[in-house]
Amino acid sequence: MEIKALQAKATQIRMDLLQMIATAKTGHTGGSLSNTDILTALYYRIMNIDPKNPKAEDRDRFILSKGHSVESLWSVLADRGFFPREDLATFSQFGTKLIGHPNNKVPGIEMNTGALGHGLAVGVGMALAAKRDGASYRTFCLMGDGEQAEGSVWEAAMAGSHYKLDNLIAIIDRNRLQISGSTEEVMGLDPLEDKWAAFGWHVVSIDGNDMKDLVDTFATVPAVAGKPTLVMANTVKGKGVSFAENVPHWHHHVPNELELGKALAELTAALELYEQKGEVR
């Protein structure tokens, strides 16, 4: 997909996840909206994956360590064909596999996540296994910024550098908001890039809602031989819905009927704009 088509796809994914959350009457809205562009770049342009063979040995691995923001991932996996789109309507319903965190009974999910701070450690293990097996696959791990307060993240960061895992790419959805407010008020993180660099990682800071920035950056990894890469994706929580952007309340707010209608109208207008320009293909 070209950049404009990826932007249009991300808009469609946002519409799907909002409808899914509204139908289920539960979900984590703000973080799913902020990480949608990251997932779209990875799943439609960057990663080596095959929905028809989700367990292919040479597939790139993806771990959503911030597992509570799974709604965007479910929407992407359904759209890519890992499972039927109709299943999105069962999100968080009794007996569904599409629960509120990644569930590895669903094709395309590598591990159950949700306890923050665990994803990168498992990613280190996957990347180390690839090195020792002489395998070519890469491991991508998406974390939240509030998650950086977990000590296990830094143990994994130290191990990734020690083992020179240049096939490991960690991404931080740096939207600067968590459930109880600003990350810098809850547990100050800055200078976060400097901390990761001090742990021996190659650090790249980008606009995490800019599709070209995302694609150009991910296309270069592994970027430095012998070093894992940390992509600091500076994002806007609630991205794409004007009245949800940078509003802490939308961390797990479920849109009511009026809010859903306004949000879908905004996103539909954005999608129509892409199509009018003739840049969606």
What are the boundaries of each domain within the chain?
3-276
Question: Distance between CA 279 and CA 281 in Å, rounded?
Answer: 6
DSSP letter at 206?
E
Whether the pLDDT of residue 35 is over 80: the answer is yes
- Residue 281 has what pLDDT? 41
Report the Cα–Cα distance between both ends of the chain, in Å, rounded. 7
CATH of region 3-276? 3.40.50.970
Strand ranges, E, within the chain:
61-64, 139-144, 168-174, 177-178, 181-182, 202-207, 229-234
Identify which of 71, 45, 66, 67 has the alpha carbon closest to the alpha carbon of residue 213.
45
**Tokens found for residue 6:** 């990826």
Question: Distance between CA 250 and CA 237 in Å, rounded?
Answer: 8
Whether the pLDDT of residue 278 is over 80: the answer is no
Q: Phi and psi for 126 in degrees, rounded to 5?
A: -65, -45
- Residue 274 has what pLDDT? 81
**Tokens found for residue 103:** 């569930």
Percent of the chain with pLDDT over 70: 98
Question: Distance between CA 131 and CA 146 in Å, rounded?
Answer: 30
Do residues 123 and 157 touch, judged by C-beta distance below 8 A?
Answer: no
Considering the entire predicted model, what is its pTM?
0.96
Beta-carbon neighbour count of residue 85 at 10 Å? 12
Average pLDDT (196-205) is 98
pLDDT digits (tens, 9 = 90+) for 95-149: 999 999 999 999 999 999 989 999 999 999 999 999 999 999 999 999 999 999 9
Higher pLDDT, residue 230 or 222: 230
**Tokens found for residue 229:** 């890469």
